[in-house]
Structure 1
Amino acid sequence: MTLLVLWRHGQTAWNFGGRIQGQTDIALSETGVEQVRAAAPRLAALKPTVLISSDLQRAADTQAGLAALVDLPVRYDARLRERNFGDWEGLTHPEITARWPESFARWRRGEPVDDAGVEEVDALSKRVAAALQEAVDAAPEGAVIVAATHGAAARHATCALLGWPVEFATTLGALHNCHSTHLLYDTVRGWQMAAHNVP
């Protein structure tokens, strides 16, 4: 059985300030760096065999903290990037509400958003899940794969891999900075949820 760990990056200044990041390339804050230092040894204890990461700096730097402990190379995949939030990127929730009240309310309810250049959830789910499934299929049975990625990307990919309706993503709750979702995979039973929001 393969273990796939979806590890959300450490905190950034935009996370702290309540700004939507999406695919804007924001670095880890000092708090984020400390979160990585605290979390990486716990993930190292799982004895990972494969490390993959979004190519955005905050995820890449998060994964670098683990790579230094387990002496493994990191493969970067742009498909593991966060959802593209279009015109919302860099704005706070009140700023978005003031300009796109109906669309933002739909997003908060987990419903489709069809304006402001926001990436469709279906496209997000498919691209992230495809990257993760390819990594699992390429790894030997019993591999432990740690994928450094982003909150919405991880949540929607989890639903896609488990075969859950897209509406279930909001029931998972937000994945906190430097927390992880653990999924198990085998060729007989397919995907199973093991844990969510592991510190």
Structure 2
Amino acid sequence: MTRLIVWRHGNTDWNAANRVQGQLDIPLNDLGREQAAAAAPLLAALRPDAIVTSDLRRAADTAAALVALTGLPVRTDARLRERYYGRWQGLTMTEVAQRFPAEHARWRAGEPDPGNEVESLEDLGKRVGTALQEAADAVPGGTVVVATHGGGARQGCGYLIGWDSTVLRSVGPLNNCHWTELRFDEVRGWQLRGHNVGLITQAPPPAPV
């Protein structure tokens, strides 16, 4: 049975400030590096066969903590990047609400395509989900750890399971350095086996951006 561990990156200063990162390349802070180092032994105990990561530093540096323990090679895939947040990137969510109130309200309401050049949830799910499927296909029957981002992880996993954005709104966000576990059954397909798994090292951020 193939197992996917979809791992959100560690904390960044922008996470702490509730600032929209999107596809901007923001590094881990000290807490984020500590989180990655603490989570890596738990993931190494799952005996992964492959490690794949987003090419953004906060995900790649998170994956590096697991690479250091396992000695496995790591493959990067730009499709695993976070949702592109268009004109919101670099702003705090308070600033977004002030500058783009209509679009922010649509985003808060869960509309899949709020405007302001923000990537649609459908496009995000297909992009990340396709990358997750290909990572799993490369190691049939094995365990793959994928280091990625909060919003991308939720939509990508939803794409594999077949859940639409309405259902996914009921799934809580991943805390920094926590993960979702999916397993593939030949009869039943992809199944959710665990969500928001990991060590509690901080309060969850207000939004997975």
Name the counterpart of 1:21: 21
Name the structure where helix makes up a greater proportion of residues: 1
Name the counterpart of 2:150: 151
Give the Cα–Cα distance (whole angstroms) in 2 for the partners of residues 98 and 113 of structure 1: 19
Unpaired segments ≥5 residues, structure 2: 199-209
Given that 1:103 and 1:115 are in contact with CA atoms closer than 8 Å, whether structure 2 keeps it comes out as: yes
Name the counterpart of 2:190: 191
Q: 1:66 is aligned with what amino acid?
A: L
Give the TM-score of the pair, scaled to structure 2.
Answer: 0.92
Name the counterpart of 1:122: 122
How many residues of Structure 1 are paired with residues of Structure 2 in the alignment?
198
After superposition, the C-alpha distances for 1:148-174 in whole angstroms (9 at most, x for unaligned) are 000000001111111011212221111
Indicate the SS of the match to 2:169: helix
Given that 1:160 and 1:166 are in contact with CA atoms closer than 8 Å, whether structure 2 keeps it comes out as: no
The alpha carbon displacement at 1:136 in A equals 1.1
Q: 2:143 is aligned with what amino acid?
A: V
Give the Cα–Cα distance (whole angstroms) in 1 for the partners of residues 21 and 169 of structure 2: 18
Give the Cα–Cα distance (whole angstroms) in 1 for the partners of residues 140 and 176 of structure 2: 29
Name the counterpart of 1:85: 85
Indicate yes or no: 2:134 matched with 1:134: yes
Unpaired segments ≥5 residues, structure 1: none
1:87-106 alignment, distance < 5 Å: 87-106=87-106
- Structure 1 consecutive aligned stretches of length 4 or more whose deviation exceeds 4 Å: none
Give the Cα–Cα distance (whole angstroms) in 2 for the partners of residues 139 and 188 of structure 1: 18
Q: 1:11 is aligned with what amino acid?
A: N
Given that 1:103 and 1:113 are in contact with CA atoms closer than 8 Å, whether structure 2 keeps it comes out as: no
After superposition, the C-alpha distances for 1:122-179 in whole angstroms (9 at most, x for unaligned) are 11000100011111112132x0100000000000111111101121222111111000
